Amino acid sequence: MLSARGLRKSYGNLVAVDDVSVSVAAGEIVGLLGPNGAGKSTTVAMLCGIATPDGGEVSVDGVSLGASAHAGKLLVGLVPQDLALIDELPALDNILLFGSLYGMGGDLLKSRAIEALKLVGLSDRAKSRPATFSGGMKRRLNIACALVHDPKVLMLDEPTVGIDPQSRNHIFGNLETLRSRGKALLYTTHYMEEVERLCDRIVIIDHGRVVAEGTQQALRALMPASAVSRYEISGVIDPALLADLNARGIKSKLRDEDSLEKVFLHLTGTDTRDGR
């Protein structure tokens, strides 16, 4: 459904994205991971037609964004990391506005807007202004605005930043519903547990390049054997046994082998990227 091949983008001498290829099929959620400054946002900007690639091509359902930007954008919904809401307008009017930008109008737009509000659980707050919403409600409304035109591809750039577990769980439910409806979802996040729960495939980028891609299992297989040792202990664990293992230089940690975060750090390093 979404296909990007060989994307490149530079800002002056800085190469932000270098030969990145991503694809998302219908009914699939692909996680896009990367440290700060890795090139995720630039990649997303090119995938939804905001930034023009220096090289490569993006197509949505066979429509090239380069050649037919207008037609391609009609098929894409974007949930930006920063809330794209207008506090002065009621929730429903926010959705109606974004629907209007996609050429919708009349009863169809109204019914779609109400449907989008219902999906994110905000039907009873249609007349309320976002300024009165909690962080989680704003995030959900942000998603509803991207869904009103019924896009085939939905791009979500860290859609759960700063919200409580209940709202996050609600959003996950929404995204799983959308997947079941055949939407293609590209999900950018820093939270590994979100990727583990939602994503069918993962693309890890660093320094503007794809450093790994595949299912969770495939990525875990990339870890060196010495570092990924699997122990299955059933029943009550004898503390003395653990102490004995530690004494022999074997570090133990429960479910250590399931940590995607460890795989991520292995691939991208442990240095912070604050300076980028």
Partner 1 sequence: MSAFTALVRKDVRIYLSNRRALLLSLVAPILISAFMGAVLGGGPSKPAAIPIGVVDLDQSTISKKIVADLARDTTLAVRELPKAQAIALVREGKINAAAVIPQGFGQQASDALFRPDIGRPQIDIHYDPSQSMILEVVKGLLTEYVMQVVSADVFGGSSQSIARQRDRVTNAKNLDPTFRDQLLNLFKSIEDVQVRNPEDQHGSGPAQQGLTMPFGTRDHQVTSGERNYNAYAHSFAGMTVQFILFMGVELGIGLLLMRRMGLWQRLRAAPVSRATLLGSRMTAGTIIALILMAGIFAAAIVVFKVRIEGSVVGFVAVAVSFAVLTSCLGLLIAAIGRTPEATRGMAIVLTLLLVMLGGAWIPTFVFPAWLQSFTQIVPTRWAIDGFDAMTWRAQPVQAIYLPVAELLGLSAVLGALAVFTFRWEE
d(CA 264, CA 268): 6
- Applying CB under 8 A, does 83 fall inside the site for partner 1? yes
Near partner 1 by CB under 8 A: residue from 15, 25, 26, 86: 86
- Applying CB under 8 A, does 100 fall inside the site for partner 1? yes
Which residue lies nearer to partner 1 by CB, 10 or 23?
Answer: 10
- Applying CB under 8 A, does 74 fall inside the site for partner 1? yes
Phi, psi of 85 (to 5 degrees): -120, 155
Other C-beta atoms lying within 10 Å of the C-beta of residue 258: 13
- Applying CB under 8 A, does 78 fall inside the site for partner 1? yes
Near partner 1 by CB under 8 A: residue from 89, 119, 222, 267: 89
Near partner 1 by CB under 8 A: residue from 6, 14, 36, 70: 70
d(CA 127, CA 135): 17
DSSP 48: T
Other C-beta atoms lying within 10 Å of the C-beta of residue 268: 19
Q: What is the side-by-side order of every strand in the sheet holding 63-64?
A: 14-24, 2-11, 55-60, 63-64
Which residue lies nearer to partner 1 by CB, 95 or 219?
Answer: 95
Which one of the spans 29-37, 78-86, 208-216, 235-243 is the region binding partner 1 (CB under 8 A)?
78-86
- Applying CB under 8 A, does 55 fall inside the site for partner 1? no
Decide if 195 contacts 187 (C-beta within 8 A): yes
Residues at the site binding partner 1, with contacts judged by CB under 8 A: 45, 48-52, 69-71, 73-74, 76, 78, 80-86, 88-89, 97-98, 100-103, 105, 145
